[in-house]
Amino acid sequence: MLSLVTHLHAFVKEVALTETEWWKAIEILTQAGYKCSDKRQEFILFSDTLGVSMVVDLLSHRKPEGATESTVFGPFHRLGAPEMPPGANIASLDKSGMPTLVRGRVLDLEGRPIAGALLDVWQAQTSGLYDSQDPSLDGLHMRGKFRSDDKGRYLVRTVRPVHYPIPSDGPVGAMLAATARHPWRPAHIHFVVSAEGYEPVTTHLFDSADPYLESDAVFAVKDSLICDFVRHERAEGHARALGIAPPYLTADFDFVLKPAAEGAARDPLEGQKRLAALGAAA
Ligand SMILES: [Fe+2]
C-alpha cells in the first residue's frame, strides 16, 4: 500500500490532476463496475488492455527452458464447462467455421507423457463472440474439459479460431478510441492445462496466419505459443475416424508442464471462483 500510494501521489502531481479529471476518473471506474456481471469483467479488460495482466504474468510464471509459456487469462472463462471424451466437438453449434483438430501431448520437462492431465478449453465462435456475449445462446458453447490419455495425448475438435475485437461498448472501448488503439485480438484458443504434481499453465494457442499477431490489444502473444493451422484436402487419421469431411485443419501442439513448487497446490481458477462467489452474494 505504501508503494501504491507513493506512485499514485506521484502520478497526480506529475500530470497536475484537475478536479474535473478526478471526477472523470471516478466516473470511468464507476462505469467499469456497472459493466461487470457474471458474464462480463470490465476490470480484467482494463488490466489486460493496459498491459498490467502481462506484467503480472511475466513476474509470476518464470518458466524453465522448454516449459509451455503462460499468457493472460482474459475475461471470458466460464466455470462449469462439461468434461468431454477425446475428439469431442466443442463447436457443435458453429456451422460456418472451418473444422479443426487441435491435438498433441501433455509432457513433463524430460519429455515424458503426463496421463490424466486436465485441459480446460475455451474459444470465441466464428462470429467473433464468446457464448456469454451472444444473445442467441443460452448455455455454454465452445468450451470443454479434456483429459490426456495414458500416452499423454489429447484431441480437441473445434473450428478455426478467428480474430475478434474486445468489447468496446464500455469504458475500455472509450479508452482505446481516445488513444487511437484498435480493439483486435489475434485468433487464439484458450487453455488451462493442469495435472497433479505440476504447475498449471494458463495460456493460448495463436494461429500463425493471423494479421494481428504483432498488435494484440492485450499484448498477450508469445512466439512459443504461435502454431500453424495446417489445411488438409483429404480425410485421414483422426479426421476420418471422427467423420470430418475435408477441407479441415490440424494444429499440433505439445504442452510441457514444470513440476509444482514444494507444497504449492495452486488452483488456476481460484480468482475466477472468488469473482463468481461475489456475484452470487450480490
Ligand atoms: Fe479470447
Distance from the CA of 251 to the center of ligand 1, in angstroms?
17
Please tell me the total number of residues recorded for the chain in this structure. Answer: 282
Residue 3 lies in a domain: no
Q: How far apart are CA 63 and CA 219, in angstroms?
A: 18
Q: How far apart are CA 171 and CA 177, in angstroms?
A: 10
Residue 22 lies in a domain: no
Q: How far apart are CA 71 and CA 225, in angstroms?
A: 9
Question: In the prediction, which pLDDT does 263 show?
Answer: 63
Q: How far apart are CA 125 and CA 91, in angstroms?
A: 8
Cell of 254: 505439445
Residue 28 lies in a domain: no
Total tally of structural domains belonging to the chain: 1
Whether the CB-CB separation of 163 and 123 falls below 8 Å is answered with: no
Nearest to 79 by CA among 264, 272, 278, 221: 272
Domain containing residue 199: 36-281
Q: What angle do CA 214, 67, 98 make, to 5 degrees?
A: 50
| Residue corresponding to grid cell 493496459 | 50
Residue 9 lies in a domain: no
Residue 87 lies in a domain: yes
Q: How far is CA 249 from CA 104, 161, 202, 211, in A?
A: 14, 11, 24, 18
Question: In the prediction, which pLDDT does 264 show?
Answer: 64
3-state secondary structure at position 256: strand
- H or E stretch at 194: strand 188-194
Residue 14 lies in a domain: no
Distance from the CA of 236 to the center of ligand 1, in angstroms?
30
Q: How far is CA 69 from CA 112, 228, 275, in A?
A: 18, 17, 25
Cell of 89: 466437438
Q: How far apart are CA 17 and CA 120, in angstroms?
A: 44
Distance from the CA of 247 to the center of ligand 1, in angstroms?
25
Distance from the CA of 74 to the center of ligand 1, in angstroms?
6
Residue 17 lies in a domain: no
Distance from the CA of 18 to the center of ligand 1, in angstroms?
37
Residue 20 lies in a domain: no
What CATH number is given to the structural domain containing 135? 2.60.130.10
Q: How far apart are CA 101 and CA 227, in angstroms?
A: 12
Distance from the CA of 179 to the center of ligand 1, in angstroms?
22
Distance from the CA of 203 to the center of ligand 1, in angstroms?
10
Distance from the CA of 73 to the center of ligand 1, in angstroms?
8
Distance from the CA of 8 to the center of ligand 1, in angstroms?
31
Distance from the CA of 257 to the center of ligand 1, in angstroms?
22
Distance from the CA of 146 to the center of ligand 1, in angstroms?
18
Distance from the CA of 129 to the center of ligand 1, in angstroms?
9
Pairing of β 255-257 and β 99-108: parallel
Q: How far apart are CA 228 and CA 200, in angstroms?
A: 24
What is the residue-level pLDDT of the chain in tens, covering all 282 positions?
A: 999 999 999 999 999 999 999 999 999 999 999 999 888 899 999 999 999 999 999 998 887 789 999 999 988 999 999 999 999 999 999 999 999 999 999 999 999 999 999 999 999 999 999 999 999 998 899 999 999 999 999 999 999 999 999 999 999 999 999 999 999 999 999 999 999 999 999 999 999 999 999 999 999 999 999 999 999 999 889 999 999 999 999 999 999 999 988 766 678 888 888 888 887 777
| Residue corresponding to grid cell 513448487 | 261
Distance from the CA of 41 to the center of ligand 1, in angstroms?
13
3-state secondary structure at position 275: helix
DSSP state of 22: H
